[in-house]
Chain A
Amino acid sequence: MDLILKGIVEAFKLLVHGDPAVTMIALLSLGVSLSATAISLIIGIALGTAIGLTRFFGRRFLISLINTGMGAPPTVVGLVVMIFLWRNGPLGVLHLLYTPAAMVVAQFIISVPIITGFTLASTQQIDKKMQFQLQALGASRMQMVWLLLKESRLPLLAAVMAGFGAIISEVGASMMVGGNITGQTRVLTTAIVMETGKGEFGTAIALSIILMILVFGVNLLLTWVQQRSKTS
């Protein structure tokens, strides 16, 4: 119990004094996870609407793949990405391993099925005739998709929160493909595990509190946007 108190005090100190190492770690966590979320938003929404609005051979199989992907253990994703990226692996020439870019890749793979799955579910909920109606009103394909996406903005914001939440709190994949290197690829989650391993529980708790504040902050913003959309 006193450890937790100690952790809170330490967190406060770190935040107030703006410890550069901790600031770097926190910013990197945000940077990596927000980038991965942004990229998976673009691809996830595009894929989700395309699959949700069309029929094609093998569609159901693809949908079950996506649903499976939503539950794929992040650590497994990390392991596979690492094997692909290491020097002797098929993508070794990219020299991505142990860089933040590798972490973005792994986190992207973890979150894109989540966002695709949510988008898919929400587009499927829309009455099929709505596509016809919008086209009849004169919407081009792009305009129609945009209008339909606006219709499902509430579930889509939920998707973003789910996707971001999953990856900013992820540690296994980030550790494996990032390497937790000081000043380069250390993020909040890997730092927490490392400090715990060292027995530095106070620091670990402090970092955890900072992580929670970040996650809470982002979700607060997204929830505010979501609830505002509800009334507009």
Chain B
Amino acid sequence: MNPGSGGTAPAGVTKLTVAYGTRKVLDVPALEVLPGEVLVVIGPNGSGKTILLLCLALLLKPTTGTVSYLGQPVTGQRQILRLRRRLAVVFQESLLLSNSVWDNVTLGMRLRGIPKNEVKARAQKWLERFGVAHLAKRQARTLSGGEAKRVSLARAFVLEPEVLFLDEPFAALDSPTRQALLEDFEGVLRETKVSTLMVTHDRNEALALADRVAVLIGGTIRQLGTPAEVFNFPVDEEVAVFVEAGNILPGKILSQTAGLAIISTDGREIEAVSSLPVGMKVTICLRHEDVTLSLPGAGPLTTSARNRFAGRVTRIFPVGSQVRVTLDCGFPLAALITGRSLEGMGLKEGQEVVSTFKASSIHLIGHHMT
């Protein structure tokens, strides 16, 4: 397995566009998969993620722009065919042919002319690694969804690709199957360190696997960075909404004092750490987890939180093992607390509560006049 020669990106695109007639569906000036990294491309349905993957995997010809491998642009059908044989792609559907599991797993290797004993060794190894060696003789059509997906993953890894592409590989699986497979898969990625591009709309997969995340919305890359950067500091509102950055409120900067800004929203004032200029319109992003609730009359809390608002509970509903409590503080605000806290405070709808959050918890997206 080649983890990439020096610093040259195994795969990349330059000035890539894909258009159907006059409708432009993808416009990416530059993107690279760095050697040994897992680059996850997330975005809503129809954002062009699959098309981007197909172009990078040399399966789809872009309208304009070039795809490069190891710094060299790819031209000509023959080069494309040769390069394809150094890659591997896994799709959402398992796409197995109707013969045995063994035949399916070995097909790619046979097409690439890998010697017979090597074929046998690799197939054996990867079928075991993905826990489906006992299914080798079975007809592929008879497998369950999870089993088929493991076979298609084995089929990709036996090829020892230089770049691995995955298009929403786990989307069609039910939750428990997906969870188990994700853990196995993460392990394999860490071991093999193969340069990987994975497309998904599931932020948990991105959080779990990605070295870098690219957010693709409407055919363009809005943000590229580490998962922490993208999920905590979304660069614009659309990204914020997509990565579920938390509470999102409109506001305007009223005053600015040495990095501490006061923003007005819905008639209330919020303090936030920011250097944005006075008068600018902003979007306020505040994670649900960063909002603390307490009962009124519990005495003034000694805390460093500069924002404290009284409000009334409008909704309570569970999210996983926690609870989201939505309040009306003059502006809508939501907090994420544990079930225990909910019980402890005996919160009910209509109840008066006090919400607090730190000025440093707020992430502001400035709306620059364009």
Contact = CB atoms under 8 A, between A and B. Distances in A.
Q: Do chains A and B touch in the complex (CB under 8 A)?
A: yes
Contacts of A68: none
Interface residues of A, number: 16
A136 B87 contact: yes
Interface string A209-232: 000000000000000000000001
Contact of B95 (A129, A143, A150, A232): A129
Given A137-B107, A138-B84, A140-B81, A132 B54 contact: yes
Interface string B66-94: 00000000000000010011011101110
Given A127-B93, A127-B95, A129-B93, A136 B57 contact: yes
A135 B98 contact: no
B123 to A, nearest CB: 14
A133 B104 CA distance: 12
Is the contact region of chain A dominated by helix, strand, or loop, or is it mixed? helix
Given A138-B111, A138-B112, A143-B111, A133 B95 contact: yes
Nearest to A150: B97
Given A127-B93, A127-B95, A129-B91, A135 B112 contact: no
Interface in A141-162: 143, 147, 150-151
A130 interface: yes
Nearest to A140: B81
A191 to B, nearest CB: 44
A55 B273 CA distance: 56
A132 B93 contact: no
A83 interface: no
Given A140-B81, A151-B98, A133 B111 contact: no
A139 B111 contact: yes
B104 to A, nearest CB: 10
Contact of A138 (B93, B95, B108): B108
B108 A132 contact: no
B59 interface: yes
Interface of B: 54, 57, 59, 81, 84-85, 87-89, 91-93, 95, 97-99, 107-108, 111-112, 155, 159, 165
Interface of A: 127, 129-130, 132-133, 135-140, 143, 147, 150-151, 232
7 contacts: A129-B92, A133-B95, A135-B84, A136-B59, A136-B165, A138-B108, A147-B97
